[in-house]
Structure 1
Amino acid sequence: MSDGARWSAGAVARTLGISPTTLRTWDRRYGLGPRTREEGKHRRYDDIDVARLRRMLELTGQGVAPAAAATMARGGVGPVPEFHDLVSASDRLDAPRLTRLTTALVSALGVVEAWEAVLMPFLVELGERAEDRGGGIGVEHVATDAMLQALHRVGDPVENGRLPALLASAPEEQHTLPLVALAAALAERGCPSRNLGARVPPAALLSAVRLLSPSTVVLWAHDRAHARSVPLEEVAEVSAVLLGGSGWDGLPLPEGARRPVSLRDAVETVFIISGVPS
């Protein structure tokens, strides 16, 4: 410790037994860097900053997800919303509460953890209940809208250089929530993308791909009939192709086309292909 209880990044990393890269990542992703910064000087951590990082290490060592651990280490208060909280709000069609819960969940856990651990199982549960009981479309619409609002609040990083990812649904494909989740997960880690949304006609897709020349094009299709209409070969001539959804099952795919198995896999694949620092 030096300079009036101020720590250098190197000293903090050595003291806590973590790499400087991890320290920078926690600062960038979770806001666990120095709380005050002096212009023109090297960043310095004070004792409170170091205590937060030590708490982060303790929590992750106990198996707490990094995003949730960071929230707790920063002094976040209140319980993280759980699966049953979402189900309860959706059963009452309580759209405002469902939106608040979903936003809090994403904030506490991060997009990927919230999506894979809670939101996806929640959507599956709603679908199964609707099938068993009949109806339920209104509940699913309320839940989907809440998720869209929460995910759109994550942010929109500034583009710098080649666009890392262009996202689009197949022609006549109306499901867009998985693409919004991917855009939010990328944005959370500082990676920009553009989402063309639902029902993108082949000509419009090709025009956007040729105009923007993104590193990666992510295409979503839940239905095989919709997937067949996508001009995959032409897209693959310009960009790497990632395919999400069950609509691609059994279809011939361009050489090199990838099918991520999860949101986390899709995010990591975009980072690898685009070369954006993660």
Structure 2
Amino acid sequence: MLEEMCRLTSAGVPPAEAARAALEGVDRSPSEHDRPQADRADAARPRSRAPGALPLGDARKECKGLARAAVRLDAPALDDQLTGLVTRHGLVVAWEEVMVPTLHAVGRKWESSGDRYVEVEHLLSWHISRALHRAIAVAVPGAQGVGPVLLACVPGEQHSLPLEALDASLTEMGLPTRMFGAAVPTEALTAAVRRLGPVAVVLWAQARSTADHPLARHVASTSWGVKGARSRPTVLLGGPGWAGRQVPGTLRPQGLSEALATLANLYDSFAAPGESRPAP
């Protein structure tokens, strides 16, 4: 009975509804037939204040199921739910509407509870990273004849998960990338820009303390190629750390969807007449 209730709640069914189903001995998963009743019961019930509940507010039901699995440290349930999310909704919707709200809820709980929820945040982040990597296990061939998108966290920035989501989505679209991850030193970053000649560089800063405006200006002004035909990358600044003062010569997309649209349009401008980038 307990296993059945855990299975139902990890899939997003509200606890009271799952308990009734388990008590009745009904061996079933939350199907399309079950969802309207579960949604009505959940909407009528005040948000849980029980210990361990995450501050999700009116988030999607999938967020609540993911949060329950994370709080229980239920790794198999996390993997199953994340794989299902990406399969049903695609990377962008899964990231923006489920993964990010759940990560934010865990972060808020961590901030208000000392170090009690560190393990929950780390486990959830790890499994989200795994799900993103699995989603692009079979990569679409990248665009030919143009430089890649270079993705890097600024020096001192360890939060690379949003860049992993962007990297996975770009790869799914068939756009070439080079993912360098967390805390890339300034010299290594500028050397990579000169070596690769990227079409675009995405710099991620989660906090204002790590947002390096001089570095962003330097990368935006870095050029390569023969004299008279030198090129510079388009620089996109991602993350809340860049809020406030604008860095001249850079773009600031608001979220994954906008970044993808900007980069797709950029690659389309490099395509030869009659040629288009690979379809997702």
**What corresponds to 1:208 in structure 2?**
192
Task: Show CA shifts across 1:79-108 (max 9, x none).
Answer: x98112211110111123212211221121
Deviations 1:46-100 (A, max 9, x none): xxxxxxxxxxxxxxxxxxxxxxxxxxxxxxxxxx981122111101111232122
Question: What's the counterpart of residue 110 of structure 1?
Answer: 90
Identity percentage of aligned residues: 42
2:74 aligned partner: 94
What is the TM-score normalised by the length of structure 2?
A: 0.66
Q: Secondary structure at the match of 1:82?
A: helix
Amino acid in structure 2 at the alignment position of 1:147: I
Q: 1:253 to 1:229 in 2, by over 3 A?
A: closer
**Runs of 5+ in structure 2 lacking a partner?**
1-59, 222-231, 269-275
- For residue 244 of structure 2, the aligned residue among 250, 259, 263 is 250
The match for 2:156 is 172
Q: Name the structure 1 match of 2:103.
A: 123
Q: 2:124 aligns with which of 143, 155, 162?
A: 143
TM-score by length of 1: 0.67
Counterpart secondary structure, 2:260: helix
**CA separation in 2, counterparts of 1:270 and 1:191?**
9
Instruction: Give the root-mean-square deviation of aligned CA atoms.
Output: 1.9
Cα displacement (A) at 1:268: 0.5
CA–CA distance in 2 between the matches of 1:208 and 1:95? Answer: 36
1:185-196 → structure 2 map (5 Å cutoff): 185-196=169-180
Following superposition of structure 1 onto structure 2, how do residues 1-278 of structure 1 map, counting pairs within 5 Å? 82-134=62-114, 135-155=116-136, 156-159=139-142, 160-228=144-212, 231-237=215-221, 238-255=232-249, 257-275=250-268, 277=277
AA aligned to 1:204 is: A
Conserved? CA contact 2:148–2:196, under 8 Å: no
Q: Is the 8 A contact 1:171 1:230 kept in 2?
A: no
**Alignment: residue pair count:** 198
Deviation at 1:190, TM superposition (A): 1.8
Give the drift of 1:249: 2.1
Q: Runs of 5+ in structure 1 lacking a partner?
A: 1-79
Over 6 Å off, 4+ runs: none
Offset of residue 230 of structure 1: 5.6
Q: Secondary structure of the equivalent of 2:100?
A: helix
In structure 2, how many angstroms separate the alpha carbons of the residues matched to 1:230 and 1:171?
A: 12
Deviations, residues 222-251 of structure 1 (Å, cap 9, x unaligned):
122322276222311220010011211234
